[in-house]
Amino acid sequence: MPPTDITRAINDLLFTPDLGLDEALDRHFAPDYRQRTDGVWTDRTEFTQHMTRLRSLILSGHIEVHDELRDGSRYADRHTVTVTRHNGRTSRTEVYLFAELAPDGRFQRVEETTLLVTGDPDDENLGHVR
């Protein structure tokens, strides 16, 4: 399997409801995965809780990658995620992401910062909900 990227990971995690969350996580994230979003660190267990909650809130969406760079095990991108919640509310969040890939090509560590571009101020919490 080729190294993962943010488009495939987000699509599998959030926008492919027929794909089980555990399978999506195993495809794209190493067992020792860690993530820092807006300064808050989470481990893979906490990240799984976060994705479970997001799946319960999000009806549909898409990702647009603006910039994407790879250098060996290093990966970086700037992308925008647009989501529509089950309550009909839509928001767009811009994300700046730096990552390290495990030897098998899955994300091992991600550090990102987010910026709500459009949407309700409550949507700023989407990057942290559990």
Q: What is the pLDDT of residues 6-25, one digit of tens each?
A: 999 999 999 998 999 999 99
> Residue 19's pLDDT is what?
96
**What angle separates helix 44-57 from helix 6-14, to the nearest 10 degrees?**
60
Q: What is the pLDDT of residues 23-79, one digit of tens each?
A: 999 999 999 999 999 999 999 999 999 999 999 999 999 999 999 999 999 999 999
Reference 39, options 108, 111, 99, 97; nearest CA is: 111
Question: What is the model's pTM?
Answer: 0.93
Q: Is the pLDDT of residue 126 over 90?
A: no
Q: Which residues have CB under 8 Å from 56's CB, separation 6+?
A: none
Q: Are 77 and 97 in contact (CB under 8 A)?
A: yes
